[in-house]
Amino acid sequence: MAFKFRLETLLRLRERQLELAEGELASFLKQLASARNSHDIKLTEVRQAESALKESLSKGVEAERYRQMSLYLERLKADLARLEQRISQIEAAVAQAREKVMDRHREKELVEKLREKEYQAYTAEIQRQEQVEADDLSSVGFVRREHEKQLI
């Protein structure tokens, strides 16, 4: 008789849930890396715009050009603020996804421990049965030898 875990379906479900949670976490981490990269690019653009604006002021610039550069800089800073907010949201989602992965991992481990306990009980029962059979064979052999001694 081969070992069959009674909760094998539940174990497979827990494994699948863990895989899905890990995939979700990986997706959020990818989004976070992308958002941080975009943030770095935008931050560089802001610094360049600020530098260009300062340089233009030192050289003297027309009022209309200064206004355009200032509006551009404000738009870049607003974009940067939105990216920072988006990064915060993604970081929160990453934290939740990590917690979910940990929960799913614990749930899977719990079922795996049950499986291990059942398997140990199964092997103990098999060993007990084998010992009973060995004892029976030993007893039969002993009885046969005693019976043969009495016949001689």
* DSSP letter (8 states) at residue 3: -
pLDDT at 145: 77
Would the pTM of this model clear 0.85, i.e. be above it?
Answer: no
Rounded to whole angstroms, the Cα distance separating 73 from 93 reads 30
Split the chain (152 residues) into runs of 10 and give each run's mean pLDDT: 90 97 98 98 96 87 88 96 98 98 98 96 93 82 74 68
Q: Which CATH fold would you assign to the domain 8-151? A: Helix Hairpins (1.10.287)
* Domain ranges (residues) in the chain: 8-151
pLDDT at 7: 94
pLDDT at 44: 97
* DSSP letter (8 states) at residue 64: H
pLDDT at 93: 98
Q: Rounded to whole angstroms, what are the CA distances from 15 to 21, 23, 54, 109, 129?
A: 10, 12, 58, 9, 33
